[in-house]
Each structure stands twice: as C-alpha cells, then as structure tokens.
C-alpha cells in the first residue's frame, strides 16, 4: 500500500463457524489484513449471513439477517470474509433477496460492491503478492465450491501459498469437485455426503501431502472430521492460518490441543 | 412409469450399497467430463455461444405461441399433422389413435425422453401393439424392463457383462457358446435382431431435439443411425416433442447443435443429424407417407412467467448430471422417475409436484458445477432453492429442521443474545471433552457423527476473545 493513502478501513465478517469453531482463522485474517496496511474492526452487531435460512427456503429469515448484516457493515471501505460461501451469500444473494425492497436493495448493492473473500481481497484488491510466513510441509488445496464458482477464487490462494517459505504444493486431482458438506445437506443426506467425502479424502491421501488447506470452515470441518475418523495423520487447516504464519498458535483442525 | 421419487433417501441408500452399480458409476462419469472440457477448449467461442444459446431460448420462450403456430402452419402446409396435447394422456391417445388408424402392430422407436415421460411403451403394449426401442441403450433397458438412468446414455448403469446376460436371456435363439464379451460383438448382436424389426414396423416414433418454425422441420441427433431407420422405413413417422423445443430458424438450430454435442459427449457434432420435413413428396425416393408431430405441453406452459421459466431452455444434453457429485454417487435410478440429476431436481417437482419430488431439490450441496457447465446457462441451484422455498411455504420440510431453523433464526436476529448463546454453546462443548480435539459422538448431531468426527471448538468464541483483547488495548 502506498503511504500517502489512508489505511483502508475493513470490517471483518467473522462467519459463524470461525466464531464458534476456529477463532484462530479470524485472528489470522486480522493479522493478514493489518500486515497489508488495513485497519480492521469487527462489528459486534453481526451474527450469521443467513445462508442456512436462504438455502432452506426461508426467505423471510434470510432477508432479516441480510438487513442485519448490511446495517452492521455500513461505513466500512471494505467488508472481508474468511469464507467463499458466506462471502458469496453477501456479495451475490443479498441483492436477489432484497430486490423487491427498494431502500434495502440499494444498500445491498452497495455492500456487495465492497465485500470480498479474504484471500481474493488480499490478492485482487490489495495486490499482495507474497506473505511473511513459514510452513514446513507439503500441502494440497481443495477449492471450495462457492469461492471457486461464485467468486472466481482459484489462483489467488496458490499464488500466495507459493510465497510461504518451506511450503510445497501438491495439486489435488478433482480439487474442484464438492467435498460433500453442502450446509444442511450433510445431515439431511448423510449417506450421500459420506460417499462424497470418502472420495475426496481418498484423492487427498493420494497426493502424498501432509497438510490439507481450503478457504471455508464448512468444507474443512467435513474433511477433517472424515480424515480423523479414518485415523489419517493429515493435518487440516484454513489457508489463512498458513498465510498468516500462525500455525504454531493452534493445533490443526480436529487434532488434540 | 410409477414414480418412487418420494423414496429418494432409501433409493440412494440402496444405490450406495450396490457394489456393481458403484463400480460402473466410478468409471462411467469421468469420461464425459473430460470430453466436454476438451471440446469446449477447442472452440474459442464456446462461452460466447452459451450466451447466444441462452438469449435465443429466452427469446423463444417470450414468443412461444408465435413460433409454435408458425411451426404448425408449416407442417400442415407440407402435408403433415400437428396434434396439440395438453397432458401425457392426450399424447398417449393421439399416438395410439395414429397407430390404430394405420392398423399397426409393430412400432419402432428412436430415443426420446418425452416418450419416457408419457410412458408410451407400456401404453402401446397394453393396447396390443409391440413397441421396439432401436437405440442400443434403450433397447437393452427395454429388455430388462428398466427405466433409463441417464438422459443421453440410458444404460450407463450397466456393465458389458450385464448387457451380455440380458441378451442371453432375451435372444433365446442365440447359441449358448457364442461369446458376448466385447462391446463390438454386443452391438452386432443387437443390430442383427433390430434389423428385422425395422422392416416389420408400420409406425416409427422419434423424439425431436429441435423443431424449426421457419421450415416446419424437426431434427434429431443420434450416434447410431437408428433414428433414421426408425423414421424412414415405416409408412408413418410420429414425432413426439414438447413445446419448448421450437426455435425460429435453421440457423438458430445450428447454434443449439454446436452446443449440444459438445456439452453432451464432447463431440463436435453427433454422428447423425437428421432433419425431417413433412411426409414423402411426389418424386421423393423414400420417406414416410404420413408425418405427425405430437406436440406436448404437460405442465411446461405453466412454468412460463414463473421463477422456473429458465428451466425450459434445457436442451437435454446431460452435462449437468455428468458433472453432479450427487448423481455420480447414486446414479439415475435413485431419482425415481424420468429425469435424473440437477435438471431432474428442477423438472420433477414441476411435473410430479413438490410433495412427490421434494427430496430432489434438497439433495444438492449447491456446489454449482451443473450451472457452470450448462450450455444454456440455466441457474439450476437457484431453481432448486426456489423449490425449497415452495416446500417451506407449504410446511413440507421435517418438523425438527423447521424448529431448529426457527430457534436459530430467532437468536441470529438478536446479536447480543446470539453472542451470549454461542458463548454458552462453546463452553458446553468444551465441557464435553475439548482435550481430544474432536468428538466421535455428539447429541443432536448423529447425521454428522455417523460417518465422521466433529472437530471440537478451540475455546472461547472469536467475538468473546476480540472483546477481551479490545478491552486490554
């Protein structure tokens, strides 16, 4: 960032799963943003982006939660989300949800234009090309569906990971195939979900990587849960933890403290 | 065909534990994906063609009445007949009427999903006629009394051993020692049997990939040439098609054809693209004496002007199911009726009702791969979500889910209470044994822990820690 410009004021949308399961990801995001010259705030009025309601057909609840998020994040230069799934909900679906509500539709568009997934914000908006971090290991990367197909996140995490000292990437065959999480899908259709995650971890194991990374906690909990159930030693982390160099501050997802 | 779509979870479970099916599924799907990808890459304007295809179909759907009437006028002018049918029953009766009038006994059939939708084979059989499928895959499943499991590869759920077994059972004149171990031999065997049938048939029924308003023509694409023999050899050619298949001109048809084969099989064009325009004219050396188009609505016009209109852009290439991880896990039969995969998850609730088919739009992770490859850019996940909305409005979802969502939604609307509740939930989960890093079992999370562990929360919530840090700063 150029020194003349004021630091961009970023509102961090934490996401439910990071808030509850993996605060480390939230702090990694804060560190990455601050290192890149942003000031970061975390509005306490945020809750959930509303995607579970939206995808369950409950538009009213989804629209209420969209309004809540919009109100909570007004006034920031950018809103950054360490998840392609929640990021896609805010960036793309709020506009659709509130299309018939003229006052809120305009605010939804305004928020949409300022909202980015964390890694794409660093790479595409701030122009970050390398990070100060070290990770001694061979990682493989799963492209989470919403980030990939709704937000076009594919090269950005790989580019930044390549700047991490000591890290090697082994590409995952079928990296663009869904892991079987799918929000409520994984509990509504557990057997199909299981079949999908079984195939996914078989592919992950074949890469020979010792670490699995991805950008969405839902997918990560699913894949980590399956790897651990199968007794796999593969470590699972959110990509932000590695990019921020905070992997010594928390054990991998699903591993012992 | 009696739908079993309401039993999707049980159908899926059976499919997942069927080792033979799983073996076929694990190898079958990937071929189509690679071929489609390469075909799309070879054509620099492929993405632009998809935009054009979408725009063309949107234009047609906005002017459907005009183009259908123009099509009818052209067909009639050339001596053909158009039978407007509102329902599947009307279509069955129209076809049976044509066969009866012709004193037909044997009816050959090209591949047609609409024929499956209206169940024409069973109906003709019940009325004393002998329908014979001439597409190899359709012929195999007809012998097995099974529905298709894929819209362009109806027997994709079968191995070549299954097919050999089927032929041995059905072709009783086949010498027991004849080897049926290679696809080539299997095709030769089917061809030999079908050749005779083509010559016996009085009526040939085909589907239509396209109807052209400008010329009154219908088009089919096949890779086996069976469609040509089905429509040229019998005295009467019946085309069964739904109203959404019309395009204005031949030029428009070529746009759709360029997208269709590439999306379906990765071919630049299918081996046979056959244009049928009316009955045989004086001086023509071949062709049918009668040409009928059975034009079916069956609920499609009711989708016009609704949030589901875009699904009528579908050209039935099958790319959505080839790329669908759910279809790839359970195969086509689990969907319980004619249309499997993502397109089925949108069409079946429209055709069967959301009560019968409500599972299908729910059984999706919304991974979006279907929409990413759809040549007509149909927003399939969005439409599945719209069906979920219908279910929600009608209170059709399981009570536990509704209650769970209700409680969660109540808290999520109230940030202070929400953060207090998540703090407590995380504390409770911690008390349950955070030291292990994960839970093998958790109350209320059996759907999750049946197959995988649940990683444990790290400790305090992010919001809680952030507030504490801010206090210190």
Q: Which residues contact A193 (CB under 8 A, 6 or more apart)?
A: A180, A181, A182, A185, A186, A187, A222, B365, B451
- Cβ contacts of B325 on chain A, cutoff 8 Å: 177-178, 180, 196
Asked which of A70, A92, A124 is the last residue of a domain, the reply is A124
**What's the whole-number mean pLDDT along residues B384-398?**
94
- What is the span of the domain harbouring residue A206? 130-244
User: Are A127 and A191 within 8 A, CB to CB?
Assistant: no
User: B425 to chain A, minimum CA–CA distance in Å?
Assistant: 8
Total domains in chain B come to 2
Same domain membership, residue A134 and residue A113: no
CA distances to A152, B15, B208, B223 from A177, rounded to whole Å, are 15, 20, 33, 29
The token duo for B109 is 């059939």
How many beta carbons lie within 10 A of that of residue B44, not counting itself?
8
Asked which of A124, A144, A172 is the last residue of a domain, the reply is A124
Q: Is residue B401 part of a domain?
A: no
Q: Is residue B276 part of a domain?
A: yes
The total number of residues shown for chain A amounts to 257
Q: Which residues 119-148 on chain A approach chain B with CB closer than 8 angstroms?
A: 145-146
CA distances to A63, A75, A100, A207 from A108, rounded to whole Å, are 11, 13, 11, 41
Helices (H), B237-278: 250-264
Q: Rounded to an integer, what distance in angstroms lies between the CA atom of residue A86 and that of residue A91? A: 9
In this predicted structure, the answer to whether residue B438 has a pLDDT above a threshold of 60 is yes
B473 touches chain A (CB under 8 A): no
Q: Is residue A253 part of a domain?
A: no
Cross-chain residue pair A191–B460, CB shorter than 8 Å? no
Same domain membership, residue A15 and residue A67: yes
Q: Which residues 371-430 on chain B approach chain A with CB closer than 8 angstroms?
A: 371-372, 385, 387-393, 397, 401, 405, 408-409, 411-415, 418-419, 422, 425-426
- Cβ contacts of B381 on chain A, cutoff 8 Å: none
Q: Is residue A249 part of a domain?
A: no
Range of weakest confidence among A39-53, A105-119, B447-461: B447-461
CA distances to B149, B263, B266, B317 from B31, rounded to whole Å, are 16, 12, 9, 15
Helix (H, G, I), strand (E, B) or coil at A135: strand
Q: Is residue A256 part of a domain?
A: no
Q: Which residues contact B101 (CB under 8 A, 6 or more apart)?
A: none
pLDDT tens, B321-376?
999 999 999 999 999 999 999 999 999 999 999 999 999 999 999 999 999 999 99
Total domains in chain A come to 2
β-pair type (B81-85, A235-238)? unpaired
Same domain membership, residue A237 and residue A169: yes
User: B442 to chain A, minimum CA–CA distance in Å?
Assistant: 13
Q: Rounded to an integer, what distance in angstroms lies between the CA atom of residue B111 and that of residue B355? A: 29
- Cβ contacts of B422 on chain A, cutoff 8 Å: 16, 19-20
Ramachandran assignment for B349, one of left (phi > 0), alpha (psi -120 to 50 degrees), beta (any other): alpha
The token duo for B222 is 């096949």
CA distances to A102, A104, B311, B359, B408 from A97, rounded to whole Å, are 11, 10, 20, 23, 19
Helix (H, G, I), strand (E, B) or coil at B290: strand
pLDDT of residue A148: 98
Q: What are phi and psi of A22, to 5 degrees?
A: -145, 65
pLDDT band, very low/low/confident/very high, at A39 (cuts 50, 70, 90): very high
B47 touches chain A (CB under 8 A): no
**What's the whole-number mean pLDDT along residues B75-93?**
98
In this predicted structure, the answer to whether residue A200 has a pLDDT above a threshold of 80 is yes
Cross-chain residue pair A19–B460, CB shorter than 8 Å? no
Question: A127 or B433: which carries more pLDDT confidence?
Answer: A127
pLDDT of residue B176: 77
pLDDT of residue B179: 81
Asked which of A70, A95, A124 is the last residue of a domain, the reply is A124
Q: Contacts for B347-352 with beta carbons within 8 Å, 24 or more apart?
A: B347/B311, B347/B314, B348/B3, B348/B5, B349/B387, B349/B390, B350/B299, B350/B302, B350/B303, B350/B308, B350/B311, B351/B117, B351/B298, B351/B299, B352/B3, B352/B5
Same domain membership, residue A233 and residue A152: yes
How many beta carbons lie within 10 A of that of residue A205, not counting itself?
15
Q: Is residue A1 part of a domain?
A: no
A153 touches chain B (CB under 8 A): no
Cross-chain residue pair A149–B457, CB shorter than 8 Å? no
Same domain membership, residue A105 and residue A156: no
Half-sphere exposure of A161 (CA within 13 A, CB side): 27
pLDDT of residue B397: 87
**CATH number of the domain encompassing residue B132:** 3.40.50.10420
Asked which of B276, B301, B326 is the last residue of a domain, the reply is B301
| For chain A, counts of helices (H) and of strands (E) | 15, 8
Same domain membership, residue A240 and residue A149: yes
**What's the whole-number mean pLDDT along residues A13-35?**
97
Q: Is residue B89 part of a domain?
A: yes
In this predicted structure, the answer to whether residue A2 has a pLDDT above a threshold of 70 is no
Q: Is residue B255 part of a domain?
A: yes
Q: Is residue B25 part of a domain?
A: no
**CA B400 to chain centroid:** 31
Of A24, A191, A250, the CB nearest to B12: A191
pLDDT tens, B282-324?
999 989 999 999 999 999 999 999 999 999 999 999 999 999 9
Q: Rounded to an integer, what distance in angstroms lies between the CA atom of residue B403 and that of residue B423? A: 21
**What's the whole-number mean pLDDT along residues A191-197?**
98
User: B49 to chain A, minimum CA–CA distance in Å?
Assistant: 20
Q: Rounded to an integer, what distance in angstroms lies between the CA atom of residue B87 and that of residue B90? A: 5
- Cβ contacts of B458 on chain A, cutoff 8 Å: 21-24, 250
Of B405, B426, B440, the CB nearest to A53: B405
Q: What are phi and psi of A103, to 5 degrees?
A: -65, -45
**What's the whole-number mean pLDDT along residues A190-203?**
97
Place of tokens 């002017």: B63
The token duo for B244 is 């959404």
User: A166 to chain B, minimum CA–CA distance in Å?
Assistant: 26
Q: What are phi and psi of B198, to 5 degrees?
A: -55, -40
pTM of the predicted model, to two decimals? 0.96
CA distances to A75, A121, A186, B151 from B167, rounded to whole Å, are 71, 60, 40, 22
Q: Which residues 206-225 on chain A approach chain B with CB closer than 8 angstroms?
A: 221-222, 224-225
Same domain membership, residue A142 and residue A110: no
pLDDT of residue B401: 85
pLDDT of residue A3: 57
β-pair type (A165-169, A211-214)? unpaired
Q: Rounded to an integer, what distance in angstroms lies between the CA atom of residue A245 and that of residue A134? A: 6
Q: Is residue A222 part of a domain?
A: yes
Cross-chain residue pair B455–A224, CB shorter than 8 Å? yes
Q: Which residues contact A20 (CB under 8 A, 6 or more apart)?
A: B422, B425, B426, B457, B461
pLDDT band, very low/low/confident/very high, at A257 (cuts 50, 70, 90): low
Same domain membership, residue B297 and residue B421: no
**What's the whole-number mean pLDDT along residues B398-423?**
93
Q: Which residues 42-101 on chain A approach chain B with CB closer than 8 angstroms?
A: 42, 44-48, 50, 52-59, 61, 64-65, 68, 72
In this predicted structure, the answer to whether residue B433 has a pLDDT above a threshold of 70 is no
**What's the whole-number mean pLDDT along residues B7-29?**
93
pLDDT of residue B3: 95
Q: Is residue B347 part of a domain?
A: no
Give the nearest chain A residue to B430 (CA atoms): A21
The chain-wide mean pLDDT, for chain B, equals: 94
Of B387, B411, B434, the CB nearest to A257: B434
Helices B415-431 and B462-472: angle between axes, nearest 10 degrees:
110
Asked which of B282, B301, B320 is the last residue of a domain, the reply is B301
Q: Is residue A42 part of a domain?
A: yes
User: A23 to chain B, minimum CA–CA distance in Å?
Assistant: 5
- What is the span of the domain harbouring residue B292? 43-301
CA distances to A153, B383, B404 from B360, rounded to whole Å, are 28, 12, 21
Of B365, B388, B408, the CB nearest to A57: B388
Give buried/exposed letters for B308-323 (b at 16+ CB in 10 A, else e): bbbbbbbbbbbbbbbb
Same domain membership, residue B426 and residue B292: no
| DSSP string computed for B366-408 | ---HHHHH-TT---HHHHHHHHHHHHHHTT-S-HHHHHHHHHH
Q: Which residues contact B4 (CB under 8 A, 6 or more apart)?
A: B11, B336, B337
Cross-chain residue pair A197–B452, CB shorter than 8 Å? yes
Same domain membership, residue A76 and residue A13: yes
In this predicted structure, the answer to whether residue A1 has a pLDDT above a threshold of 60 is no
Same domain membership, residue B424 and residue B277: no
pLDDT of residue A13: 98
Q: Is residue A4 part of a domain?
A: no
Helices (H), A37-133: 51-55, 59-72, 84-88, 94-97, 102-114, 118-120
Place of tokens 């359970």: B330
Q: Is residue B79 part of a domain?
A: yes
Same domain membership, residue A223 and residue A186: yes
In this predicted structure, the answer to whether residue B275 has a pLDDT above a threshold of 90 is yes
Same domain membership, residue A135 and residue A212: yes
B456 touches chain A (CB under 8 A): yes
Indicate which of A15, A19, A65 best probes the interface with B, i.e. most B CBs within 10 Å of its own CB: A19
Asked which of B271, B301, B331 is the last residue of a domain, the reply is B301
Place of tokens 């790897």: A227
Same domain membership, residue A229 and residue A175: yes
User: Are B460 and B428 within 8 A, CB to CB?
Assistant: no
- Cβ contacts of A193 on chain B, cutoff 8 Å: 365, 451
Same domain membership, residue B203 and residue B69: yes
Q: How many CB pairs under 8 A join A and B?
A: 210
Q: Rounded to an integer, what distance in angstroms lies between the CA atom of residue A172 and that of residue A207? A: 6
Half-sphere exposure of B77 (CA within 13 A, CB side): 12
Cross-chain residue pair B451–A193, CB shorter than 8 Å? yes
Same domain membership, residue A77 and residue A107: yes
Indicate which of B462, B470, B473 best probes the interface with A, i.e. most A CBs within 10 Å of its own CB: B462
């Amino acid at each position: 960032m150029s020194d003349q410009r004021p630091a961009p004021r970023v509102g961090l949308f934490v996401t439910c799963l990071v808030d509850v399961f993996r605060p480390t990801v939230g702090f990694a995001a804060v560190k990455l943003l601050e290192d890149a010259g942003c000031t970061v705030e975390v509005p306490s009025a945020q809750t959930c982006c509303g995607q579970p309601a939206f995808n369950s057909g409950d538009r009213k609840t989804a629209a209420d939660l969209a309004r809540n998020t919009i109100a909570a994040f007004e006034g920031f230069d950018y809103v950054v989300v360490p998840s392609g799934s929640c990021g896609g909900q805010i960036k793309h679906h709020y506009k659709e949800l509130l299309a018939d509500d003229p006052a809120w539709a305009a605010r939804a568009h305004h928020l949409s234009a300022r909202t980015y997934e964390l890694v794409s914000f660093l790479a595409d908006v701030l122009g970050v090309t390398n990070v100060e971090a070290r990770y001694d290991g061979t990682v493989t990367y799963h492209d989470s569906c919403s980030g990939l197909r709704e937000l076009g996140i594919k090269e950005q995490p790989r580019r930044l990971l390549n700047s991490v000292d000591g890290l090697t990437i082994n590409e995952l065959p079928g990296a663009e195939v869904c892991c079987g999480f799918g929000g409520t899908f994984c509990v509504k259709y557990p057997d199909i979900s299981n079949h999908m995650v079984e195939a996914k971890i078989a592919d992950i194991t074949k890469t020979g990587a010792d670490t699995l990374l991805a950008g969405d906690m839902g997918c990560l909990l699913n894949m980590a849960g399956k790897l651990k159930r199968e007794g796999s030693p593969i470590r699972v982390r959110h990509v932000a933890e590695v990019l921020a160099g905070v992997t010594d501050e928390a054990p991998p997802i699903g591993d012992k403290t | 065909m009696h739908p079993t779509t309401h039993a999707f979870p049980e159908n899926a479970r059976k499919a997942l534990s069927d080792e033979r099916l799983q073996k076929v599924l694990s190898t079958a799907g990937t071929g189509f994906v690679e071929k489609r990808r390469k075909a799309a890459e070879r054509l620099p304007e492929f993405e632009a063609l998809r935009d054009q295809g979408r725009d063309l179909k949107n234009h047609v759907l906005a002017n459907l009445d005009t183009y259908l009437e123009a099509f009818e006028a052209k067909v009639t002018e050339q001596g053909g007949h158009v039978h407007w049918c509102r329902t599947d029953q009307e279509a069955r009766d129209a076809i049976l009427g044509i066969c009866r009038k012709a004193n037909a006994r044997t009816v050959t059939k090209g591949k047609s999903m609409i024929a499956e939708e209206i169940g024409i084979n069973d109906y003709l059989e019940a009325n004393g006629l002998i329908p014979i499928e001439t597409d190899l895959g359709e012929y195999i499943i007809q012998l097995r009394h099974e529905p298709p499991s894929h819209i362009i590869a109806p027997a994709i759920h079968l191995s070549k051993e299954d097919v050999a077994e089927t032929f041995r059972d059905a072709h009783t004149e086949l010498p027991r020692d004849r080897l049926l171990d290679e696809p080539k031999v299997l095709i030769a065997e089917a061809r030999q049997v079908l050749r005779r049938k083509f010559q016996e048939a009085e009526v040939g029924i085909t589907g239509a990939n396209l109807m052209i308003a400008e010329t009154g023509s219908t088009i089919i694409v096949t890779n086996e040439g069976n469609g040509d023999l089905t429509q040229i050899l019998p005295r009467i050619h019946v085309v069964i098609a739904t109203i959404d298949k019309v395009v204005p001109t031949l030029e428009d048809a070529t746009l759709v054809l360029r997208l269709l084969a590439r999306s379906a099989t990765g071919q630049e064009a299918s081996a046979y693209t056959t244009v049928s325009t009316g009955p045989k004219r004086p001086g023509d050396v071949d062709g049918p004496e009668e040409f009928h188009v059975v034009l079916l609505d069956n609920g499609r016009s009711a989708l016009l002007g609704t949030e589901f209109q875009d699904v009528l852009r579908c050209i039935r290439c099958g790319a959505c199911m080839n790329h669908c991880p759910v279809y790839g896990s359970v195969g086509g039969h689990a969907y319980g009726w004619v249309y499997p995969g993502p397109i089925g998850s949108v069409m079946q609730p429209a055709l069967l009702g959301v009560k019968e088919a409500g599972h299908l739009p729910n059984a999706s992770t919304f991974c979006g791969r279907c929409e990413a490859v759809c040549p007509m850019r149909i927003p399939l996940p969005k439409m599945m979500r719209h069906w979920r909305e219908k279910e929600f409005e009608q209170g059709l979802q399981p009570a536990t889910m509704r209650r769970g969502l209700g409680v969660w939604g109540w808290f999520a609307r109230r940030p202070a209470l929400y953060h207090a509740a998540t703090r407590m939930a995380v504390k409770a989960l911690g008390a349950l044994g955070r030291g292990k890093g994960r839970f093998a079992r958790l109350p209320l999370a059996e759907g999750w822990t049946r197959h995988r562990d649940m990683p444990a929360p790290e400790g305090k919530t992010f919001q809680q820690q952030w507030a504490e840090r801010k206090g210190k700063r």
